[in-house]
Structure 1
Amino acid sequence: MTLFSQTIIDFWDSSFNGEIFYNDDYFCCIINPHLKESRRLMVLTTANGKVSVVMTPTIATKLQLVKEQPISEEIFRNKLEEIGILLHSADHIFYFTEKEKEKVCTETATKNIRQLTEQDVEVFSEFENSASEQDLDDAYVELDHWAVFGSFAEERLACASSMYPWSDNTKLADLGVLTLSQFRGQGHARKVVRAISQYAYEKGYEPQYRCQLDNTASISLAKACELTLFGQWEVISPDSP
């Protein structure tokens, strides 16, 4: 059995597909003229340390890359800096392994956890009003997302998680989760993440958990949920020329 599902592997293989410009044990450079404008340059560093880059021919030309000429991650990033191309801050990307997926799919949710609907507008509004703007921005949990689950304590919504299909051509569902500060450390987030992930699996989707590299609390939560690091993903910034 492979570590991650074929759905996950196929998505990243298709995202980093094209003409292999350079490849060794540590670094791979791929040219693809069909990338979306917003993703015309992407970098994926998998958990085993292999760095893969995919870019349009235009960017490859700007970087003055020569086919088959040895190139390392350090050289590549130096070239980006020289011509002013910026990348968004990297995201950690976590998934459940195939083994853990089996456990998630057979778990029984606790009675204080349920799916939220449009009938929960007032409950969710109170939840949002009790959270900081920074927490709301970081978590990106919305009641109108594809699926929303919540955990209740003291007769109020203590933690919520929502997810949405990450793109049109994949079965990955990107999720966010937020626990109100007074209810943290009580296991709400772990249970909600696993409950909404079970729902995603029932609908034929793979849950995807992302967070920035310096978000230690979110990384700790991913580990508590038994998610496994797949890699780090970077995409070109809209501020780049």
Structure 2
Amino acid sequence: MNPVASRPVQVFVVAPAMLCWGLERLVQTARPRIELMGTAETLADAMPVLQGRVVADVVVLDLDGGYGPDAVADLQAVFKGRLVVLTSSQDVGLLDQVVVAGASGVVRKSDSPAALLKSIEKVHEGELWINRSAAGRIFVEMARQNVASGNDPDRLKIATLTARERQTIAAVASDASAPGKVIAGRLCISEHTLRNHLSSIYGKLGLSNRLDLFAYATKHRLHKAG
């Protein structure tokens, strides 16, 4: 059994009252897969609720409330789950920065309701919900930032990786925006096994998501299986 799917994905929504009302009813259509844990009209109202304890698996944030990368980074500092931003913005640079700051998914308000529900489930499973063109730009920026940081390679951590974990890293780094099902297929394993491998890799390398893994793999030349 997939442990991720053994209980509903618990969601907290940060959006104006009318949008919260609509999202609450949308989530109700996805029960028992997804469950609404709470709402707040502003990030300022949400922070005390989220700070210091995880009340949800995924936060859905209406980015059009005047929030940007700094707000996303502040939220991620107190909330250790996944973040999906909902927006009507066409500012590609802003949306890229929001993902670099910690958002796992970007959903446009012109997308279908089903797309938002699917994004919630997929980011909860550890995947990214961003389009391919954005992924390319973001991965390059993440790699650039890691190289610029000048951090020394953690050779002891890398040495703990198994051959299969190195193969998994190479598969993810070669196409990090690909769905888990596609990457698992290339490795001839199940999505459940892929998630287990990624969980182990994240733990060993001190990472939390695929963006981090891509940048780490590029910096430390782990993007090729060997």
TM over 0.5: no
Which structure's residues are more often helix, by fraction?
2
Which structure's residues are more often strand, by fraction?
1
TM-score range, shorter chain: under 0.3
What is the TM-score normalised by the length of structure 1? 0.22
What is the TM-score normalised by the length of structure 2? 0.23
